[in-house]
Amino acid sequence: MTRVIELEDSAPGEALTVAVLAGGRSSEHDVSLSSGTAVSEGLRAAGHEVVWVEIARDGVWRSAGRSLSVTPGGGLLGVDVVFPVLHGPFGEDGTVQGLLETLDVAYVGAGVAASAVCLDKVLFKQLMAGLGVPQVDYRGVRAERFAREREQVLAELAALGLPVFVKPAHLGSSVGIVKVDADEGLGGALEQAFVHDGLAIVEAMAAGTEVECGVLGRLACEATASEPAVASEPGEIVFAGEFYDYGAKYTPGGMELIIPARISRAAREQVSQLAVSAFLASGCDGLARVDFFVDGERVLLNELNTMPGFTPTSVYAKMLGASGVPYARLLDHLCRLACERHARHLARLT
């Protein structure tokens, strides 16, 4: 039986003016624009007014063809809430969230600290390890250390076995991932990752099914102390290539999402529980997509995305839709969560 999320805020709320913030300086600029376009359409379908704000690759913010300047405490274009549909560095890492905090405007998604922790794949895994969460075996490698101690680093990484996956630690959308099947390829793969990021993560190959789970925060009127957030029905990722790469994620037909995931009921429950636990332990707000590998009854957490893609091929909204939360309703709920959090914040300041 498919998990169903019941939202109690069923009465139509006041229409909001929402700034959709898209683009950005990272390599995921185009993905963000696609996500932002879809979010804008969904917000309008929910009855809200949308103000488009695009961040160019050089970091300049523009709206209606004009560059923007902002004043601390002055909000952003008079909107009620900002939906920062940004992926990767300079957007999903706490930098934009910090700016929005200084502007004193409500915004969707994780705050500064959670955004920074969760985008850093190594730091996030260290946090989860401290909580005893089962994970894929991994090592973090900094570019400076690799340049000084190349042979020692490679010897330490041998403990992971082969194959391994080498990734830039602060990028999403599977950008820059290399699968390494032979010892002689590991050094080159690390050097390639360092082109994108000064920190790389090397992960052991995980057997089993790739499963993803959406997490959605609850409004105060519907939350309880034991359930401040709820998990979607987990979905199974099926793809044709060797691993779930950029092409599989963003090319129509590159992957298939099967809901519910073809894993046991017990494994689905474990995925859902771990997804919410990771969300809460890392201090997230609003939404997240949590990724796992499931092999029989063994569930391994892989990573958490604080602003998952909202493109037509992205899976977060599909999993929530399959769990009873249609796209426009989901976006409306996220905006109202953001406004509620901002109101609490203002109340603490007065």
Residues forming beta bridges with residue 203, ordered by sequence position:
138, 165
The per-residue pLDDT for range 200-253, each reduced to its tens digit, is: 999 999 989 999 999 999 998 886 767 899 999 999 999 776 655 555 555 566
Domains and CATH numbers, the chain: 17-108 (3.40.50.20), 116-134+207-324 (3.30.470.20), 138-204 (3.30.1490.20)
The per-residue pLDDT for range 23-51, each reduced to its tens digit, is: 999 888 999 999 999 999 999 999 999 99
Whether the per-residue pLDDT at 349 is higher than 90: the answer is: no
Average pLDDT along the chain: 92
Please state the pTM of the whole predicted model. Answer: 0.92
Q: Report CA-CA distances (Å) from 59 to 251, 292, 310.
A: 27, 33, 21
Query: What amino acid positions are annotated as catalytic residues?
Result: 28, 173, 250, 289, 291, 303, 305, 309
Q: Report CA-CA distances (Å) from 108 to 9, 61, 263, 287, 298.
A: 17, 18, 32, 8, 33
Provide mean pLDDT across the span 335-348.
94
Give the DSSP H/E element, type plus range, for residue 308.
none
Q: Report CA-CA distances (Å) from 246 to 15, 175, 332.
A: 36, 6, 29
